[in-house]
Amino acid sequence: MKRKKIVVENKYGIHARVAAAIVKEASKFSSKIYLEREDNNLRANCKSILGLLALGASKGTVLNLEVEGEDEERAFNAMRELLEGLSKDA
């Protein structure tokens, strides 16, 4: 399993469009991919949009990215790239 702490950097946080992009990317892999909020333990499956929206992650929220499965290496890199690469104004 791979884990990494990620801080939401973009202005509007994980809103619907960002969540949809995460789901789209996560669904390409067979690994289980989760994002968990550090402060309240809410844990969302990145392959479905509602959980991500339920997190209510705004700018500055600390999330733990967790990836586990056969293609975890590729999935982890792709997710990290997507999350860290969110444009500041997105």
Partner 1 sequence: MRKRLLVKELYEELKPTLSFELLAGSAGLLKSVDNSRIQKPGLALAGFLKHLHTERVQIFGETEISYLNYIGKKEGKRRVRDLFSLGLSCVVVTKGLEVLDYLIEAAEDFTTPLIRSPKVSSYCIEVISDFLEDRLSPEISLHGVLLDVFGVGVLITGDSGIGKSECALDLISRGHRLVADDIVIVKNKRGVLWGTAPVRVQHLMEVRGLGIVDIKDLFGVSSIRERKRLDMIVRLLKWSESPSIERLSFTSRTKEVLGVKVPYVEIPVSPGRNIALLVEVASKLFLLHKNGITFNNIEKLLLGVEVDGKGVE
Residue of 2, 9, 12, 15 with catalytic role:
15
Q: Which two tokens stand for residue 25?
A: 């990317």
Cα(90)–Cα(43) distance, integer angstroms: 23
Binding of residue 78 to partner 1 (CB under 8 A): no
What counts of helices (H) and strands (E) characterise the chain?
A: 3, 4
| Residues contacting residue 28 through CB under 8 Å, at least 6 positions apart | 75, 78
| Single residue of 2, 4, 15, 43 touching partner 1 by CB under 8 A | 43
Considering beta carbons, is residue 16 or 84 the nearer one to partner 1? 16
Interior angle at CA 13, CA 31 and CA 45, nearest 5: 25
| Single residue of 13, 22, 47, 79 touching partner 1 by CB under 8 A | 47
Q: How many residues in the shown chain lie near partner 1 by CB under 8 A?
A: 16
Considering beta carbons, is residue 23 or 83 the nearer one to partner 1? 23
Interacting residues with partner 1 (CB under 8 A) = 16, 27, 41-45, 47-51, 53-56
Which residues does the annotation mark as catalytic? Answer: 15
